[in-house]
Amino acid sequence: MDLLVVERIGGLAGFGGPGAHVRSRGQVAIARLSEADRRAVEELFRTRGDSRPSAVRDGFSYRISRTTSAGSETIEVPESMVPASLVGCVKDELI
């Protein structure tokens, strides 16, 4: 089963950065996504999220990783571009 690994990074607290004490991550099976969300994820990987910074000061970004037959791919995109089903799979944990 192909999985997407999703990490929330940045924000005011610097989630996922060096020295952070909170990690926000999750995973979701691609097959469990709606067709619209699968298309949105494919478009994000195709365009690499257009490398747009978040329009929100201290806003979150998401690092999304997948492994395909071509190898591993990782992109970082602003929260506004991430489908809700991916945002919803992320859980916070203290580290």
| Per-residue pLDDT at 29 exceeds 60 | yes
Closest CA to 27 of 6, 45, 55: 6
Q: pLDDT per residue over 39-58, tens digit each?
A: 999 999 999 866 555 566 66
Question: Using an 8 Å Cβ cutoff, are 68 and 61 in contact?
Answer: no
**pTM for the complete prediction?**
0.82
- Give tens-digit pLDDT for 51-95: 555 566 667 899 999 988 888 999 999 999 999 999 999 998 887
Residue 19 pLDDT class (50, 70, 90 cuts): low
Task: Report the amino acid identity of residue 29.
Answer: A
- pLDDT at position 33, please? 96
Distance, C-alpha 82 to centroid of its chain:
7
Smallest Cα–Cα separation from 16: which of 82, 79, 93?
Answer: 93
